């Protein structure tokens, strides 16, 4: 088989992404038809930036979901004779006859590593962002609403973490010496407990006077919640369904630990601004408790800035994960995550640029999509 030209490469890649095109058409089509009922989210379809950002983000989310169908080779498999192979090189005797985007310095398929790498990035970045936001809301709301010594103490701790340079802090948290201690598991146990505690407080503050729904809801939250927490944080899930390998756990904890103080400061600032509004005074007059006011009066009215911050924070976290992989920290060296792949390819950048350019473009497009989406959401939040 002869080497493919760029038209042939692009055509075959387009065919591999058929599940993604179908998913995009379905989601965007349904969203367009229901845009009038989706409120601010529906208005994204009338914004060039919003629609472009949403399309790029959905493309990579669907790519991560369908990675097993899209990838042409095992991302860790090495084929003889295809070291630094150019895009479109034949791959005889393999599961797919071509290395669509070439081979890297270890003769692995760059296209498959890019596709599977999306799953790695999107398995960590959104989950770490949600966990950091849960920590920020759980601590930032009482700091801003109550104020006083509580605010001073929590703000001091947040500023203490923020005083460290981010890269240096990452180096400290993910070095092998730290990973071999009990510190990552201990910090993970505390941080992973925060989202569960947030959900418990959210439900309790709403239904504390109604015994039936209160008990049923707490059982539904604590049952699976403690199971997931024990598996992820303590590696104590006997079924093995909820488990993070030690390297991935350390990266996750480091990302949450770095993001949580900034999330705390944003939530605290919003709570400080909203605690004197009329609806808060009305809730106090009704005799509502502090957690009800914080979670059901202040937080819903702060959702616009928090959603925008979440989009930006996922993009920031994606870059942080790429930086960690580039420096060879956290995940295993053979991992197909984009940062590690860029690092592997940079040594031959002048001669074989495809090995580093492919994951770099993937990382750029995802972060660009998240930033465009955040800008469009910020614009819609201003209109509301």
Q: How many Å apart are CA 304 and CA 307, to the nearest integer?
A: 5
**Model pLDDT, residue 248:** 76
How is residue 200 written in tokens? 């418990």
**Model pLDDT, residue 333:** 64
34 C-beta neighbours (distance < 10 Å), count:
12
Q: How many Å apart are CA 244 and CA 106, to the nearest integer?
A: 27
**Model pLDDT, residue 329:** 66
**Model pLDDT, residue 384:** 58
**Model pLDDT, residue 62:** 95
**Model pLDDT, residue 81:** 83
Q: How far is CA 348 from the centre of its chain?
A: 30
**Model pLDDT, residue 331:** 64
The residue assigned the tokens 């349904």 is 30
**Model pLDDT, residue 90:** 85
How is residue 302 written in tokens? 């702060």
Residues 6+ apart with CB under 8 A from 73: 79, 91, 94, 95, 96, 99, 108, 109, 111, 112
**Model pLDDT, residue 46:** 80
Q: Helix, strand or coil for residue 103?
A: strand
81-113: buried (b, 16+ CB within 10 Å) or exposed (e) per residue? ebebbebbbbbeebeeebbbbbbbeebbbbbbb
Tell me, which fold does domain 123-326 have in CATH? MetI-like fold (1.10.3720)
**Model pLDDT, residue 332:** 67
DSSP letters for 281-304: HHHHHTT--HHHHIIIIIHHHTHH
Report which of 122, 102, 120, 124 is spatially closest to residue 111, judged by C-alpha positions: 102
> Apex CA 137: angle with CA 384 and CA 123, to 5°?
90
37 C-beta neighbours (distance < 10 Å), count:
8
Q: How many Å apart are CA 267 and CA 256, to the nearest integer?
A: 16
DSSP classification of residue 109:
B
Q: With beta carbons less than 8 A apart as the criterion, state whether 139 and 161 touch.
A: no
Distances (CA, A) of 365 to 3, 315, 320, 360, 362: 27, 10, 15, 9, 5
**Model pLDDT, residue 379:** 77
| Domain definitions of the chain by residue range | 6-116+343-383, 123-326
Chunk the chain into consecutive blocks of 10 residues (it has 384) and report each block's average pLDDT, rounded to whole numbers: 77 93 93 80 81 93 93 87 85 83 87 90 87 93 92 92 78 72 83 92 90 91 90 80 76 85 93 91 90 92 86 84 71 74 80 87 91 83 62
Q: How many Å apart are CA 384 and CA 379, to the nearest integer?
A: 9
What global pTM score does this model have?
Answer: 0.85
**Model pLDDT, residue 8:** 87
């Amino acid at each position: 088989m002869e080497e493919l030209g760029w038209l042939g490469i692009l055509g075959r890649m387009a065919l591999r992404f058929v599940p993604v095109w179908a998913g995009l058409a379905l989601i965007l089509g349904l969203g367009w038809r229901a845009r009038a009922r989706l409120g601010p989210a529906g208005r994204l379809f009338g914004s060039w930036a919003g629609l472009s950002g949403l399309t790029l983000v959905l493309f990579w989310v669907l790519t991560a979901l369908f990675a097993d169908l899209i990838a042409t080779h095992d991302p860790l498999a090495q084929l003889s004779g295809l070291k630094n192979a150019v895009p479109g090189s034949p791959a005889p005797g393999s599961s797919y006859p071509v290395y669509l985007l070439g081979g890297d310095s270890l003769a692995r398929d760059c296209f498959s590593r890019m596709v599977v790498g999306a799953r790695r990035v999107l398995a960590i970045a959104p989950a770490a962002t949600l966990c950091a936001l849960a920590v920020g809301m759980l601590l930032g709301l009482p700091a801003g609403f109550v104020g006083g010594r509580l605010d001073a103490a929590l703000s001091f701790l947040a500023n203490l973490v923020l005083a460290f340079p981010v890269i240096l802090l990452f180096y400290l948290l993910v070095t092998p010496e730290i990973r071999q201690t009990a510190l990552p598991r201990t910090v993970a146990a505390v941080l992973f407990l925060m989202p569960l505690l947030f959900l418990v407080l959210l439900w309790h503050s709403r239904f504390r006077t109604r015994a039936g729904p209160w008990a049923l809801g707490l059982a539904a939250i604590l049952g699976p919640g403690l199971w997931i927490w024990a598996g992820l944080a303590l590696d104590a899930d006997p079924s093995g369904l909820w488990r993070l390998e030690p390297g991935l756990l350390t990266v996750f904890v480091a990302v949450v630990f770095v993001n949580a103080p900034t999330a705390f400061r944003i939530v605290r600032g919003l709570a400080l601004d909203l605690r004197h509004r009329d609806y808060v005074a009305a809730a106090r007059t009704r005799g509502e408790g502090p957690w009800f006011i914080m979670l059901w009066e202040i937080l819903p009215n702060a959702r616009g800035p928090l959603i925008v911050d979440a989009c930006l924070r996922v993009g920031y976290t994606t870059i942080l994960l790429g930086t960690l992989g580039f420096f060879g920290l956290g995940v295993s060296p053979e991992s197909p995550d984009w940062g590690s792949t860029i690092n592997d390819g940079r040594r031959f950048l002048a001669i074989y640029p495809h090995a580093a350019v492919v994951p770099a473009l993937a990382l750029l497009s995802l972060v660009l999509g998240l930033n465009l989406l955040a800008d469009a959401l910020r614009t819609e939040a201003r209109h509301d």
